Amino acid sequence: MLFDLRKTQAGQLLQQLKHLFRGARGVEKFLRAIQPDLIMLPEDNVETLSTIFVAKGRRLNIPSMVIPFTIPNPLEPARYYYDNPMYQARGAVARRLVHRHPKWRFNHEGRDLLRQPAIKASCQEFLGLSSPAPWVLNRGSAVSIALDSDAQRDLYIKLGFPVEQLKVIGDLNGAMFHHVRSHKQRFVEEICSKYGWQSDRPLILCGFPPISIKARIQADLNFPTMMHSSRPGWRASECSPHGRIP
């Protein structure tokens, strides 16, 4: 029987190193080719190439800016990966990782979890493609993080972000909402006229976010799908909170 090195921990470690090294080299080659003045990202996430872009850009003196579209919350990945054995802090590699880099461990409901599989996280540390706080989205080395309000800034500060990294620039959508709110009656009349609705009846707008909190907690949802929660004739429905809400 032939010995398959790829199935051993050493083999998997080498495969991950090779994969990350190729990705990092590709990103660096791309940045050298286009020579951007600024790297703009929607998030800095250790699961994606975004962290590599920030790290490589920094080494090439190319600043990065994160314009986040969501609220960082370690509970979201913890809930998502809770039952995935690859993300549990078990085994020799995981113990070594947590001993040398405790930041990768997060205890959720009595279970020690890792933000990335132990072998991949170890490789990220070895190649300098990690994060000061892997469990906190956007907690990387971007020059600045553009935020929409002082309230959001306060939240980021509570999560351990350096104050000098946070820049409150306002929110385009917020300005639009303010404009609509300031002219509410006119917009209501225009919408009702367009669709033939009665303008004297209450108008309720519902927005359903994508279900990104699968795995174990999906069984705890009140309804199997969004369509089930909005059947005709139902006046109200209960919804479990989104995973990014603290």
Query: pLDDT tens digits, the chain, 246 residues: what are they?
Result: 444 555 666 667 678 788 888 989 999 999 999 999 999 999 999 999 999 999 999 999 999 999 998 889 999 999 999 999 999 999 999 999 999 999 999 999 999 999 999 989 998 999 889 999 999 999 999 999 999 889 999 999 999 999 999 999 988 777 788 888 899 889 888 988 998 988 888 877 776 665 555 544 444 555 555 555 554 444 333 444 444 444
pLDDT at position 188 is: 87
pLDDT of res. 240: 47
Which helix (H) or strand (E) segment holds residue 40: the answer is: strand 39-41
- Residue 243: predicted pLDDT: 47
Q: Is residue 195 part of a domain?
A: no
**Is there a domain that residue 233 lies in?**
no
pTM (predicted TM-score): 0.72
Between CA 82 and CA 109 the distance in angstroms is 9
Does 54 fall in a domain?
A: yes
Going by DSSP bridges, is the β-strand pair 166-168/144-147 parallel, antiparallel, or unpaired?
Answer: parallel
Asked if residue 22 is part of any domain, the answer here is yes
CA distance 246 to 228: 26
HSE of 80, CA atoms in CB hemisphere, 13 A: 15
- Inside any domain, residue 69: yes
Phi, psi angles (nearest 5°) of residue 149: -160, 165
Question: How far, CA to CA in Å, does 234 sit from each of 33, 222, 226, 227, 229?
Answer: 56, 14, 13, 11, 8
What's the domain range around 55? 5-168
Residue 2: per-residue pLDDT: 45
The first and second tokens of residue 25, run together, are 């080299």
183 domain residue, yes or no: no
What pairs with residue 40 in β-bridges? 65
The count of structural domains within the chain is: 1
Q: Flag whether 51 is in a domain.
A: yes
Query: In angstroms, rounded to a whole number, what is the distance separating the alpha carbons of residues 240 and 18?
Result: 41
In angstroms, the first-to-last Cα distance of the chain is: 52
In the chain, count H helices and then E strands.
8, 6
**Whole-angstrom Cα distance, residue 36 to residue 180?**
37
* Any domain includes 177: no
